[in-house]
A = this chain, B = another copy of it.
Amino acid sequence: MSTISVPVAVPSPAEDVEQLHKAFEGWGTNERLIVSILAHRNAEQRRRIRQCYKETHGEDLLKSLDRELSRDFEKLVLIWTLDPAERDALLANEAARKGSSGNCVLIEIACARSSTELFLVRQAYHVRYKRSLEEDVASHTSENFRKLLVPLVSAYRYEGDEVNMTLAKSEAKILHENISKKHYENEELIRILTTRSRAQLAATFNQYNNGFGVPIDEDLKKSDPEGEYALALRAIICCLTSPDKYFEEVLRLAINKMGTDEEAVTRVIATRAEVDMQKIKEAYYKRNSVTLDRAISKDTSGDYEAMLLHLIGYESV
């Protein structure tokens, strides 16, 4: 469930554009006004504002925002204002060029979006970068991660509920054999995780738990707590089956880090506010005994803090 609140009577795009333009004018920028508009419009409304801004002022709204704002606040407002597919294309491009530290972002985009959403990201990637997403992932990643990440970002998983229980049993066995031998890069293991539907994988992971007495992600954690490949496999499994728990963990680690990881906080909040932020907040409170609002207030400040709190639905900012 989304955490952003849209006013009952939404101003027209032209009115919003006029207000935004006012916020840019004169001495200094009126950041509060920007937050009060953009943090309270859904993706379709933001798209119309951007289109209307371009028609009225002959410049992309993102370009004006880029000129007026700075640092973490700027980054958050920019990626929030982008269309979701364009935003993911941008995040994926940054991640692909980063090497292994970007792997988790690629995994999120490949596994915590619907099949159609991922395809729209690939279309937006063509338009923005004049290349394909898989082409960039393939040419920037090392060989062992390539064979995992390329099929992952190229997947168009079936989204129906149908489950083949015989297959779930036999594939749970394949997964278990490879995990117990620490063969994380095994072709069959990769094939199963990168091509099967969410419903089929959920059944396979249940069979794993039933048959071997331990959840697959726990087993991976036990088998190789720090290894990069096992961590990537756990991220895939978690993004596919419990994205709210996955993103709770990303936020927790980002906030608890010495010197907050603003990049991760920005990414998670901008990409999930309209999707499942309500569930992520619940998972966060359950796991940390402190609300996400309070954790964010403690670790961030100024306009950046205000925008984050507006996006996660903290009413009395």
Q: How far is the CA of A133 from the CA of B150 in the complex (A)?
A: 16
Chain A positions 128 through 155: 1 when the CB is less than 8 Å from some CB of chain B, otherwise 0: 0011111100110001001100110011
Q: Is A196 an interface residue (CB 8 A)?
A: yes
Q: How far is the CA of A147 from the CA of B155 in the complex (A)?
A: 14
A230-280 contacts to B, CB under 8 A, are none
The residue in chain B whose Cβ has the minimal distance to the Cβ of A126 is: B158
A131 contact from B146, B150, B158, Cβ within 8 A: B158
A138 contact from B131, B146, B162, B195, Cβ within 8 A: B195
B contact residues around A139 at 8 Å (CB): 191, 195
Q: How far is the CA of A147 from the CA of B143 in the complex (A)?
A: 13
Q: How far is the CA of A162 from the CA of B150 in the complex (A)?
A: 22
The residue in chain B whose Cβ has the minimal distance to the Cβ of A136 is: B195
B contact residues around A146 at 8 Å (CB): 187, 191
B contact residues around A187 at 8 Å (CB): 143, 146-147
A-side interface size class: 20 to 34
B contact residues around A194 at 8 Å (CB): 138
B contact residues around A195 at 8 Å (CB): 132, 134-135, 138-139, 150
> Are the CB atoms of A160 and B130 closer together than 8 Å?
yes
Q: Is A122 an interface residue (CB 8 A)?
A: yes
B contact residues around A150 at 8 Å (CB): 151, 191, 195
Q: Is A75 an interface residue (CB 8 A)?
A: no
Q: How far is the CA of A151 from the CA of B147 in the complex (A)?
A: 10
Q: Is A156 an interface residue (CB 8 A)?
A: yes
Number of copies: 2
A159 contact from B126, B147, B158, B162, Cβ within 8 A: B126
A149-207 contacts to B, CB under 8 A, are 150-151, 154-160, 162, 187, 191, 194-197
The residue in chain B whose Cβ has the minimal distance to the Cβ of A187 is: B143
A134 contact from B119, B138, B156, B159, Cβ within 8 A: B156
Given A150-B151, A151-B150, A191-B138, does the pair A156, B132 have CB atoms closer than 8 Å?
Answer: yes
B contact residues around A160 at 8 Å (CB): 126, 130
Q: How far is the CA of A160 from the CA of B125 in the complex (A)?
A: 12
Min distance, Cβ A153 to any Cβ of chain B, angstroms: 9
Min distance, Cβ A292 to any Cβ of chain B, angstroms: 35
A91-121 contacts to B, CB under 8 A, are 119
> Are the CB atoms of A158 and B143 closer together than 8 Å?
no
Q: How far is the CA of A119 from the CA of B126 in the complex (A)?
A: 14
A-B pairs, top 9 by smallest CB distance, nearest first, are A154-B154, A135-B195, A138-B191, A132-B158, A122-B156, A138-B195, A130-B162, A126-B158, A131-B158
Binding site for B on A (CB under 8 A): 119, 122-123, 126, 130-135, 138-139, 143, 146-147, 150-151, 154-160, 162, 187, 191, 194-197
